Structure 1
Amino acid sequence: MAHTDLAGVSEVRGALREFLRYRWRPESAEVAELLLSELVTNALIHTRHGAVVTVSVAPARLRVEVRDFVSGLSSSYVPNADDGTHGRGLVLVRNLADAWGGGGQALGKVVWFELDGERP
């Protein structure tokens, strides 16, 4: 997905929705879609080099990873009250995910989140 193709975020959401349709509860799938959107948007806007999404489902855990291709971790941005809607993606991830984190890779970095839940 190219950095200028933010319309691709909705494609990624749709692909996740379809993947989870019979594998995960609808409420958790909706949260996963939202968090995925935030992470992919961040990767596309802040790195300008595209992103790769990996999703794995275990019996009671969903893990989503978003990898980019720019080395170095940026500091987590915490918006202030006057910041409108910009910069709230990691706040949403921190508040809605059961676990999340990030780290450097050989080429770029990965930010991930996990949701606990039961399969349907």
Structure 2
Amino acid sequence: MRDERTGDTRDGPDKGQLTRRLGRADLRAVSEVRKSLRELLRHWGKPGKSEIAELLTSELVTNALVHTDHEAVVTATVGPHGLRVEVRDFVGHRPEPRVPIADDGTSGRGLILVQSLADAWGVRAHGVGKAVWFELDGGGAA
């Protein structure tokens, strides 16, 4: 099922998956993906888990759009073992966590946040590009 207004696709109203194609350098998509993810996770996890998922997803989506200058695809799947979010882009360069240059800088913290807050995360080659992913255990049903 595809929502023509947002570009979201779901396997059905309660299937637990969100897929969204993001336009090249479309930073407006970051807040739209957060809103869609919030809806998907409305009844998922312990308090605070969905907010962490939104934050980490925002970081991965922003990185894909800012650092690749290409389109990207975000997929979020809620399964029996938790949440997996994957952001696929079309550039093979692997991101690496780095320490921000300045304490008051506004960039350079995204992957450090993912590394610190996700239960698992990684990067895998995917066709002509890569997929950066993270997983969160919901900590039980809400």
How high is the TM-score relative to the length of structure 1?
A: 0.90
Q: 1:40-59 alignment to 2 at 5 Å?
A: 40-59=61-80
**TM-superposition CA deviations, 1:1-57 (whole Å, max 9, x none):** 223210110000000000111233341000000000000000000001121111111
Give me the whole-angstrom Cα distance separating, in 2, the residues matched to 1:34 and 1:48: 21
Matched, 1:6 2:27: yes
State the SS of the aligned residue for 1:35: helix
Q: Secondary structure at the match of 1:85?
A: coil
Counterpart position of 1:33 = 54
Q: How many residue pairs are counted as aligned between the two chains?
A: 120
Write the mapping of 1:1-120 to structure 2, written as runs, cut at 5 A: 1-82=22-103, 84-116=105-137, 117-120=139-142
The offset of 1:70, in angstroms, is 1.2
The answer (yes or no) to whether the contact 1:60–1:118 under 8 Å persists in 2 is: no
CA distance in 2, matches of 1:26, 1:12: 20
* RMSD between superposed Cα atoms in Å: 1.6
AA aligned opposite 1:45? V
Change (3 A) 1:32 1:99: same
Report which of the two has the higher share of helix: 1
Distance 1:108 1:83, change over 3 A: farther
Q: Deviation per CA, 1:91-119, whole angstroms, max 9, x where unpaired?
A: 10011101111121112100000111222
1: CA distance, partners of 2:95 / 2:79: 30
Q: Which has the higher contact order (CA 8 A, sep 6+)?
A: 1
Q: Which amino acid aligns with 1:37?
A: S
Unaligned runs of 5+ in 1: none
Structure 2, unmatched stretches of 5+, are 1-21
TM-score for both structures, normalised by structure 2? 0.77
